[in-house]
């Protein structure tokens, strides 16, 4: 290994970047005083880790940075790089060439170190060159000052050079590190022992408190296991009972509504019947007056006709055969009356038949109308049933949150016992119907996100869900959410684009406190009227925002599209509006149902009236049919008598002509017709009234029974509602107990603590456990954790104490081992150097003797090194009394002795031979040449004898004041050139 080159830039007098190339052998650097040649050795020492500013001939580390001159500005950074050839892997690194760089900045006095241009620490460089002979305390860099002070140094100060030569520097460094580590270990051990002693004092009382707390916890766990099981069973029982009660109440309520409706209908029918009965009584009274008048009229006419008939009979009986013509006239009159009466009865018969047929048609029409109305009522009733069922679903969705996820429902149920829960985002927003679809797709799953006041509230809610295994939920803390809006330029573009309706947050109503949430979720969502316009808006904003349409299509961030038909399911946002519309629809349907039932009742009453009238007409028709038959017989008898008397056939049609003048008979027939119609009408109305009376009596009886039944139902409902309120209160108490005391949801408790228990025994066990817990008095539950913490800490520290004791022993053992190695290596190397020192000394001084000895032979690790020399012709005396040249030669002798024992790859000698005379310089130069095969020498000199032995010379000059320049000359090339010139 050797130094290939030095690169300097901004270091001391090297203002410009300078590269000094070296080669194996001896390189000399010459120049006048003050030209900066010694700055090269300072640069090498600086890179190798020199931290002493005084050793670098400065007062501050920034003094190594070129400070400027009359013509040059100061530099802001100093940088030096040493490049070593490492093909022999003398340095323990896998590189053929090793670059060591140090850089210093003037601004903050900050230093940088690099190995092969990679940043590193100073320690890395020191570790790399350790025991290579390049250390700052080694023989690699020796200046004139080192030489001059070597002889005058204290023995302990000389030891470092010998340690470096012996290769024990790394062991000494490790020993120092071990000693410092041992001191730290001892300090740690003392501190740990103090802490362990203090913890031992705390453990005893904490143990007692812990044992008491454990008893409490055990009793509390037993109580929890039993009481939670009791609560679970109680909740299940109450839930089942409430379910049954609700079903019973629903049935009773339906029955109540039915009965109340029936009562209302019956009361309406009753009132209607009474009114009809009153109207019938009025009509009958009026008809009776008319009937009396008609009967008097008939009686008068019948009396007149009887008188006429009697007169006719008298005439027939008293008229003799000679008065045949008179008799014929009388018979003819009788026959004409018979014809008239027969025709009248036939006419009335036909009229009654037509009226009967009309009533039958009316009856059939009424039946069809009633059937259609019944079908309509049945359809409306089915629709009402479906609407009420849907209403129950919506109420359940809104009140019980059945459309929410399990985690969200759990949070809502436990809301009262938790801090900072504002509500579910979907429940907090309202919008116009035309924007509901757009809002739903804009929010997506966020419609079920839970809004909280603080971030801590959300974390507590998540812990609640996790502890109770109650599912998952997403939370939106108001304080931590960031508002998101359209950028102003994008908003301006949107406002000028066709189809832009606005930003989604502008179309919703919400509590003011959640404005940040709304802006975060909807403040950057664009609303468009159609998908085509939405596509234009997305392109205009470079697909950076979500765009939704009124029909629910979405263009997502990035440009992907979502669309198609939406499921006809109730959105959480539309459920309230749907419920309002459904309630109004049910109300209108119930109103229509009442009207249809009233109409059906009217048709039913009309049907009864038609039925009674038809029955009367059928009876009148039957009577008239018999009367017509009798009148026809009478007519045949009268005709026979008349024909027998006149001995000629009579055509009734001819005879009818003779009846036109029989006004009395016509009046009588008309009077009887009026009388019979009045009689029939009165009879029909009396029978109808009687049926109304019977129906009214039945309705009165039914109403009494129905009202009694309604009172029973109301009493039963009242009792069940009282029971329901009690059970709901008890159920809520159980659930609140679970939530507040045990921090559990019912679902979690049911899953973890559901077991068969005897409720009576369990309740007694709960009472006993509570008594035992109360008898414990004050319990410090923290003691369990504190004891565990203190105990664990004590055990850990005690284990650390043992580890520290073991580490202390290990460090002491390692120090002893390193001491043995250092003693062995130092002693061995010292003896070899001592042997070589005498030889070199004799050669340099031309005789005499020299030796090295320990200043403290009993302490090889700390002993200094004394030098005992006797130049030829001089008595042994104190080394400090030698001349400067002699001291330098002694120091150089020691240097060469060390090099004989421990060669180094490179050595920089900075004017070390300056104090020698010419003869000694020559001897010094010859020794350099002797060692140049194994050590690279860089010699800063101005002595000719030394220059003659150099393979390469660098001349240092200052052509520009304050700036060093180097010029190289190979002596071999120069000699060859001189010889060729001669």
Instruction: Work out the burial of residue 334: count CB atoms within 10 Å of its CB; fewer than 13 is exposed, 13-18 middle, 19 or more buried.
Output: buried
Distance CA 302, CA 296 (A): 10
Distinct helix (H) and strand (E) counts, the chain:
23, 24
| Whether the Cβ atoms of residue 206 and residue 790 lie closer than 8 Å to each other | yes
Please count the other Cβ atoms lying within 10 Å of the Cβ belonging to residue 319: 15
CA distance between the termini of the chain: 39
Structure tokens of 588? 């209108």
Distance CA 978, CA 866 (A): 49
Q: Is 857 annotated as a binding residue?
A: no
Structure tokens of 915? 């104090």
- The SS3 of residue 238 is helix
What is the distance, to the nearest Å, from the Cα of residue 942 to the centroid of all Cα atoms in its chain?
82
Please count the other Cβ atoms lying within 10 Å of the Cβ belonging to residue 295: 16
Distance CA 103, CA 874 (A): 51
Please count the other Cβ atoms lying within 10 Å of the Cβ belonging to residue 787: 23
Q: Is 950 annotated as a binding residue?
A: no
From residue 661, alpha-carbon distances to 332, 344, 655 in Å are 13, 15, 12
Q: Which residues, 6+ apart, have CB-to-CB distance to 149 below 8 Å?
A: none
3-state secondary structure 744-776: CCHHHHHHHHCCCCCHHHHHHHHHHHHHHHHHC
Per DSSP, helices labelled H in 453-544 are 455-467, 488-495, 515-522, 531-540
From residue 289, alpha-carbon distances to 462, 667, 690 in Å are 93, 19, 20
Name the region of 542 (left: φ>0; alpha: ψ -120 to 50; beta: rest): left
Q: Which residues, 6+ apart, have CB-to-CB distance to 219 below 8 Å?
A: 769, 772, 773, 776
3-state secondary structure 698-745: HHHHHHHHHHHHHHHHHHHHHHHHHHHHHHHHHHHHHHHHHHHHHCCC
Q: Is 538 annotated as a binding residue?
A: no
Q: Is 494 annotated as a binding residue?
A: no
Count Cα neighbours of 820 within 13 Å in the Cβ-side half-sphere. Answer: 5
In degrees, to the nearest 5, what angle opens at C-alpha 437 toward C-alphas 436 and 442? 95
**Residue 109 has what DSSP assignment?**
-
User: Bridge-partner residues for 18, per DSSP?
Assistant: 8
Handedness of CA 640, 646, 647, 649 (dihedral sign): negative
Distance CA 753, CA 456 (A): 30
| Whether the Cβ atoms of residue 90 and residue 96 lie closer than 8 Å to each other | no
| Whether the Cβ atoms of residue 924 and residue 156 lie closer than 8 Å to each other | no
Q: Which residues, 6+ apart, have CB-to-CB distance to 748 below 8 Å?
A: 468, 469, 470
**Which residue's structure tokens are 């009268």?**
638
Report residue 334: phi and psi, to 5°. Answer: -60, -45
Q: Is 32 annotated as a binding residue?
A: yes
Q: Is 36 annotated as a binding residue?
A: yes
DSSP string for 263-295? HHHHHHHHHHHHHHHHHHHHHHHHHHHHHHHHH
Count Cα neighbours of 160 within 13 Å in the Cβ-side half-sphere. Answer: 12
Q: Indicate the annotated binding residues for ATP.
A: 32-39
**Binding positions:** 32-39
């Amino acid at each position: 290994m050797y130094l290939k080159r030095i690169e300097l830039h901004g270091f001391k007098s090297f203002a410009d970047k300078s590269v000094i190339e070296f080669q194996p052998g001896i390189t000399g650097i010459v120049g006048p005083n003050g030209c900066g040649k010694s700055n090269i050795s300072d640069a090498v020492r600086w890179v190798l880790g020199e931290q002493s500013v005084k050793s670098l001939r400065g007062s501050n580390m920034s003094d190594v940075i070129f400070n400027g001159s009359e013509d040059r500005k100061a530099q802001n950074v100093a940088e030096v790089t040493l490049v070593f050839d490492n093909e022999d892997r003398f340095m323990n690194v896998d590189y053929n060439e090793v670059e060591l760089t140090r850089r210093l900045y003037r601004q903050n006095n900050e230093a940088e170190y690099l190995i092969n241009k990679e940043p590193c620490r100073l320690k890395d460089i020191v570790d790399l060159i350790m025991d290579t002979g390049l250390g700052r305390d080694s023989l690699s860099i020796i200046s004139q000052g080192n030489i001059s002070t070597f002889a005058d140094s204290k023995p302990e100060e000389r030891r470092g050079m010998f340690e470096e030569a012996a290769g024990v520097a790394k062991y000494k460094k490790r020993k120092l590190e071990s000693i410092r580590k041992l001191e730290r270990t001892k300090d740690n051990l003392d501190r740990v022992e103090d802490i362990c002693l203090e913890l031992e004092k705390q453990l005893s009382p904490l143990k007692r408190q812990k044992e008491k707390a454990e008893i409490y916890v055990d009793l509390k766990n037993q109580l929890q296991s039993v009481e939670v099981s009791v609560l679970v069973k109680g909740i299940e029982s109450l839930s089942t009972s409430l379910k049954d009660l609700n079903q019973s109440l629903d049935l009773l309520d339906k029955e109540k509504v039915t009965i109340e409706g029936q009562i209302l209908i019956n009361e309406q029918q009753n009132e209607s019947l009474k009114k009809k009965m009153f109207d019938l009584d009025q009509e009958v009274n009026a008809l009776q007056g008319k009937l009396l008048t008609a009967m008097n009229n008939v009686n008068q006419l019948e009396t007149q006709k009887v008188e006429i008939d009697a007169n006719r009979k008298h005439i027939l009986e008293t008229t003799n055969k000679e008065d045949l013509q008179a008799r014929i006239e009388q018979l003819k009159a009788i026959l004409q009356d018979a014809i008239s009466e027969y025709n009248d009865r036939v006419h009335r018969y036909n009229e009654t038949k037509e009226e009967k047929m009309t009533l039958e048609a009316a009856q059939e029409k009424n039946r069809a109308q009633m059937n259609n109305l019944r079908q309509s009522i049945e359809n409306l009733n089915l629709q009402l049933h479906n609407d009420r069922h849907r209403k129950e679903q919506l109420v359940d969705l809104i009140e019980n949150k059945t459309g929410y996820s399990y985690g969200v429902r759990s949070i809502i149920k436990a809301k009262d016992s938790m801090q900072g829960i504002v509500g579910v985002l979907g429940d907090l927003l309202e919008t116009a119907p035309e924007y509901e679809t757009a809002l739903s797709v804009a929010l997506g799953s966020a419609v079920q996100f839970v809004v909280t006041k603080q971030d801590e509230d959300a974390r507590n809610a998540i812990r609640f869900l996790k502890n109770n295994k109650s599912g998952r939920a997403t939370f939106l803390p108001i304080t931590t959410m960031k508002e998101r809006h359209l950028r102003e330029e994008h908003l301006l573009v949107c406002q000028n684009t066709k189809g832009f309706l606005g930003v989604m947050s502008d179309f919703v109503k919400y509590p003011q406190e959640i404005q940040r949430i709304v802006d975060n979720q909807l403040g950057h969502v664009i609303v468009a009227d159609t998908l085509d316009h939405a596509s234009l808006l997305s392109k205009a904003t470079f697909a950076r925002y979500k765009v939704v349409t009124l029909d629910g299509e979405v263009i997502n961030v990035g440009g992907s599209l979502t669309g198609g038909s939406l499921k006809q399911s109730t959105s959480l946002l539309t459920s309230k509006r749907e419920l309002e519309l459904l309630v109004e629809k049910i109300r209108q349907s119930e109103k229509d149902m009442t009207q249809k039932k009233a109409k059906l009742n009217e048709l039913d009453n009309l049907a009864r009236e038609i039925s009674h009238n038809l029955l009367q007409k059928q009876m009148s028709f039957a009577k008239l049919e018999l009367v017509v038959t009798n009148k026809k017989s009478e007519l045949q008898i009268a005709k026979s008598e008349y024909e027998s008397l006149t001995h000629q056939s009579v055509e009734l049609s001819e005879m009818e002509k003779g009846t036109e003048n029989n006004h009395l008979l016509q009046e009588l027939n008309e009077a009887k017709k009026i009388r019979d119609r009045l009689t029939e009408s009165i009879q029909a109305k009396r029978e109808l009234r009687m049926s109304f009376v019977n129906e009214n009596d039945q309705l009165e009886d039914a109403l009494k029974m129905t009202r009694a039944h309604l009172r029973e139902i109301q009493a039963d409902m009242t009792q069940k509602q009282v029971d329901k309120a009690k059970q709901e209160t008890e159920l809520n108490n159980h659930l609140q107990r679970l939530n507040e005391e045990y921090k559990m949801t019912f679902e979690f408790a049911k899953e973890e603590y559901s077991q068969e228990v005897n409720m009576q025994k369990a309740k007694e066990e709960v009472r006993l456990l509570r008594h035992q817990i109360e008898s414990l008095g004050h319990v410090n539950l923290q003691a369990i954790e504190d004891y565990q913490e203190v105990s664990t800490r004590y055990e850990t520290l005690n284990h650390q104490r043992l580890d520290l004791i073991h580490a202390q022993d290990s460090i002491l053992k390692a120090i002893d081992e390193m001491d043995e190695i250092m003693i062995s290596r130092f002693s061995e190397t010292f003896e070899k150097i001592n042997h070589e020192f005498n030889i070199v000394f004799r050669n340099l001084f031309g005789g005499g003797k020299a030796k090295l000895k320990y200043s403290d032979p009993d302490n090889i690790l700390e002993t200094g090194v004394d030098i005992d020399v006797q130049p030829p012709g001089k008595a042994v005396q104190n080394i400090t009394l030698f001349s400067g040249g002699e001291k330098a030669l002694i120091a150089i002798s020691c240097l060469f002795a060390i090099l004989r024992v421990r060669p180094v790859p490179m050595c920089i000698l900075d004017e070390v031979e300056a104090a020698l005379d010419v003869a000694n310089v020559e001897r010094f130069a010859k020794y350099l040449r002797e060692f140049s095969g194994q050590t690279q020498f860089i010699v800063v000199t101005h002595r000719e004898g030394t220059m003659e032995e150099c393979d390469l010379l660098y001349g240092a000059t200052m052509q520009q004041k304050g700036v060093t320049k180097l010029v190289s000359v190979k002596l071999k090339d120069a000699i060859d050139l001189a010889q060729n010139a001669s």
